[in-house]
Amino acid sequence: MIGECMIELSQNNELGEYKQSFAGDVFNTGVYIKRCLKDSAQVSFLSVIGEDKLSTQFLNLMANEQINSRYLYRCKSNKMGLYIINIDQYGERTFDYWRENSAARQLMQLIKQDSDKMAFSSVTTLFFSGISIAILSPDDLQDFWKFIKCRRSQGCQIVFDPNYRPALWPSPEHAKDAFEIAYSLSNVVLPGVDDHKNLYNHQTAAEIASHLEAKGIGEIIIKNGDLEVLVSARGRRTKIDIIPVTEVVDTTSAGDAFNGGYLSARQNGKSVKDAVIYAANVAGCVIQHKGAIVPKACFDTAITPLV
């Protein structure tokens, strides 16, 4: 799992008090993969954090979730990014970010300085998102592509979720150029319809499938909120209905949870169709709770019987 995890402050009550936690799209996905697979797979997080107390708290969270920190770098000069979730009187959520000097932006510099380059040779799957690459400088992004190409040439499966966030990119053209490279290097992709509507002006899942099939991607899973999922596996398309959740509390991490459920199910040998159904159940569990990472006991109660 390659990406950024941030310090999250969310409004806890009407007095303006905030609750502190940690979240990030790729990290959230890693947590749900590990919870689904338990001891049958090792999940590691490749990123950079600071050397401050909050960064140490994050390390403790990783240990509690059994996420391996072998590939986690620590930076003296930079700290983890931070964001605040604001909720207005109508329940609408807005976000304020402080990530310009995030430690995670130093990732490629620290990888290049790492003398133990062979440490990555044992990795069998790499997952990254549009956010993972949006925070990198242009030079670091070029080094990132070299890193991904090297891993793929060694037989590593590459998985990509575009997770388009316009505010993180200099322009839509910059994002599109990067996504096209990411797609060309990926074996499995997990786009959302909204990602492509905003960036490519694709209006339907079928349009997205056509665009990505032309790149020769073997496994394309197109998410569309609580609507059906369109799958294109080795050129064959299948629509898979999912059962919408009636009591939705917080959809912040719906896509991350779906990704975690899908990738864990495929790792466990489930078919693409069964993996999508399982992933929808994982996401359905998560959105019935507040926060990106739901309490482990609640998750295990809902999901363990489905494995």
Question: Which residue numbers are catalytic?
Answer: 256
Contact 105, 80 (CB under 8 A): no
Closest CA to 189 of 216, 219, 214: 219
Contact 67, 31 (CB under 8 A): yes
Closest CA to 155 of 124, 182, 186: 124
CA distance 62 to 27: 9
Residues in a beta bridge with 8: 21, 83
Amino acid identity at 162: P
Residues in a beta bridge with 23: 6
CA distance 161 to 219: 12
SS3 content of the chain, % helix, strand, coil (to 5): 45, 20, 35
Q: What are phi and psi of 26, to 5 degrees?
A: -70, -40
